[in-house]
Structure 1
Amino acid sequence: MKSRIIALVAMMVMAFTGSAFAGAIQVKGSTTVLPLMQKAAETFMKANPNVSISISGGGSSNGAKALIDGTTDIAMMSRDMKGGEIQKATDNGRKPVQFIVALDCIVPVVNPGNPVSRLSKAQLFGIYTGKITNWKDVGGDDSKIVVISRDTSSGTYDCWKSKVMKKDGKKHRVFPGALLQASNGAVAQAVSKNKKAIGYVGLAYLNKELKSVSVDGVSASVLTAKDGSYPISRGLNIYTPGEPSGEAKALLDYMMSPAGQKLAADTGFIPVK
């Protein structure tokens, strides 16, 4: 049955792209977008065996840098490109074109053994600026809070900073005592092993070893992301240097097709179509 499904999806890709392609595609950037890109690339290459797709993470900022310096055909980014990045790319003859391939929520997570299940944005701000240091101050046990954050090259960090760490019109940095991790997976693993820890991950990284925490009384979900009621949601982006063509365009067209959008849902993200 599984082989039949794979074959059917491959036929859908072939039908959608119209013909087989040959060549190589370099994809770099966001670890949040990575699992969706890996699934899309796997299916696309089954239908187009002469296409080789090389994918690496490293964070949204690394994706932007690779697009600027010409070492990637597609940049995965879980944030929008900054004005300075767009200008540098444009100056290099690689004017970025943006495509939103899915929606996502950034979800605060704790260890399942932690009794805390809801926090306000104000409480999250206090925890991540180092002003709230004990779980008892937010309804938990009397124990020190171990704060885990993404590193500053991450688009997830950038979104967290914009939507949680903003007060009185100013964006605040996560305090120096936080433990910085290079990927969503690393954050998830660290929180799952420490009952005192708190972190934040994209929807696709939620699992039974983590407990999601509601924000201002709203839980992260497809519905709350789409209707805007969940306060920490975002678009997941693909950037190409100029209008995409050839194999890159075919891959992007597949990701935006019904079959590609189903992959986004299957990965744990929210389809845009």
Structure 2
Amino acid sequence: MIIFELCKIYILKENVMKKHSIGKIILLLMLLLVTMTACANNGSKITIVGSSAMQLLAEQAGNDYRLSHSDSNIVVQGGGSGTGLSQVQAGAVQIGTSDVFAETQKGINASKLRDYKIAVVGIVPIVNKGVGVKNVSAKQLAQIFTGKITNWRQLGGKDEAITVINRSKGSGTRSTFEDIILRGQKPIKSQEQDSNGTVKKIVNTTPGTVSYLSFPYANDAHIQKLSIDHIKPTNKNITTNKWQLWSYEHMYTKGKPNKQTKAFIDYMLGKKVQKELVPKIGYLSINDMKVTRNSKNQVTQIGK
């Protein structure tokens, strides 16, 4: 509005219609349009950074949202849960995504952040198909990742050395895996990767490898999912905590979100995403859970 008034004053003062060419008027109007568009896009931009486990869901939801909200500008990036939490705390992004509760992370003041639980994602240990193992106990899985079991033959598989691929520090998936499986034990020094996609590619092509993935990424015919204590990694088993390797997919904002950000979060929690998109990609709707888990990994049945 201010820009329009300034332009009006300029035109009247200089008597543009009489003394200046139409070309100058068109140029002025074009500059005005560019300025207005830039301001509008900046105001509606939502930057989402953090969990690679949630990246698939956030990207697809963002794409769908733009179809019905043409003025929106949603940018989704990974980087890990730690990055998402630190970036949103610093006010550098509108939404930080995380697989872990903010209060469990050093340097994060959770009281300054708002937590929106969007979905639930399972985590599954995976191995290269050639190792010849389909099931391990929780204790054996911990022994693999702490270096106590070093050959697949020790688990009834092929006589082949075990190569552990871990997630990078700051990964929410790694934090959940270590909290539930290692329970305070120190992991073996190993190759580390920062994304689910890279982990899957390595396990696909490298004999003897073992790692873990979020459910939506564990859909490749060349990898072998491991059952734990003969319990299969399914979303149905997650709903009751029978399969214990799972985490919430959080969206955090710094205090009260702005109007545009809140509208997108409401969309994420709405019927279209929860009933259609979430299960389609391989996540679990927050509304389907029969148990709840707190930041200390204490599980309670919903309704009790």
TM-score by length of 1: 0.85
| CA distances 1:204-245 after superposition (whole Å, capped 9, x unpaired) | 001222211001211111110001100212211111111333
Partner of 2:173: 156
Q: Do structure 1's residue 55 and structure 2's residue 76 form an aligned pair?
A: yes
Partner of 1:267: 281
Partner Cα separation in structure 1 for residue 222 and residue 263 of structure 2: 37
Q: Give the aligned CA root-mean-square deviation in angstroms.
A: 1.5
Q: What SS does the aligned partner of 2:165 have?
A: strand
Partner of 2:66: 45
Task: Tell me if the contact between 2:131 and 2:160 (Cα under 8 Å) persists in the aligned partners.
Answer: no
Partner of 2:264: 251
Task: Tell me if the contact between 2:86 and 2:108 (Cα under 8 Å) persists in the aligned partners.
Answer: no
Q: Do structure 1's residue 200 and structure 2's residue 221 form an aligned pair?
A: no
Aligned residues: 243
Partner of 1:210: 223
Of residues 143, 146, 155 in structure 1, which corresponds to 2:160? 143
Of residues 177, 184, 193 in structure 1, which corresponds to 2:196? 184
Partner Cα separation in structure 2 for residue 269 and residue 249 of structure 1: 22
Partner Cα separation in structure 2 for residue 214 and residue 73 of structure 1: 38
**Greater helix share, structure number:** 2
Q: Give 1:106 deviation, angstroms.
A: 0.9
| CA distances 1:90-136 after superposition (whole Å, capped 9, x unpaired) | 5xxxx111111111111000122332000111111111011110000
Partner Cα separation in structure 2 for residue 195 and residue 40 of structure 1: 36
Matches within 5 A, 1:72-151: 72-83=93-104, 84-87=106-109, 95-151=112-168
Q: Which has the larger radius of gyration?
A: 2
Partner Cα separation in structure 2 for residue 118 and residue 97 of structure 1: 39
Partner of 1:18: none
Q: What SS does the aligned partner of 1:161 have?
A: helix
Partner of 2:293: none
Q: What SS does the aligned partner of 1:82 have?
A: helix
Partner Cα separation in structure 1 for residue 119 and residue 233 of structure 2: 15
Task: Tell me if the contact between 1:86 and 1:96 (Cα under 8 Å) persists in the aligned partners.
Answer: no
Partner Cα separation in structure 1 for residue 240 and residue 70 of structure 2: 40
The more displaced of 240-249 and 212-221 is 240-249
Question: Which residues of structure 2 form unaligned runs of 5+?
Answer: 1-42, 288-304
Partner Cα separation in structure 2 for residue 122 and residue 28 of structure 1: 34
Higher relative contact order (CA 8 A, sep 6+): 1
Q: Give 1:264 deviation, angstroms.
A: 1.1
TM-score by length of 2: 0.77
Partner Cα separation in structure 2 for residue 179 and residue 48 of structure 1: 42
Q: Give 1:85 deviation, angstroms.
A: 4.0
| CA distances 1:246-272 after superposition (whole Å, capped 9, x unpaired) | 111111111111111121111111111
| CA distances 1:134-159 after superposition (whole Å, capped 9, x unpaired) | 00001111110010110111000100
Of residues 237, 241, 244 in structure 1, which corresponds to 2:254? 241
Task: Tell me if the contact between 2:122 and 2:214 (Cα under 8 Å) persists in the aligned partners.
Answer: yes
Q: What SS does the aligned partner of 1:147 have?
A: strand
Amino acid at match of 1:41: G
Question: Which residues of structure 1 form unaligned runs of 5+?
Answer: 1-21
Q: What SS does the aligned partner of 2:243 have?
A: coil
Matches within 5 A, 1:9-48: 23-48=44-69
Amino acid at match of 1:263: L
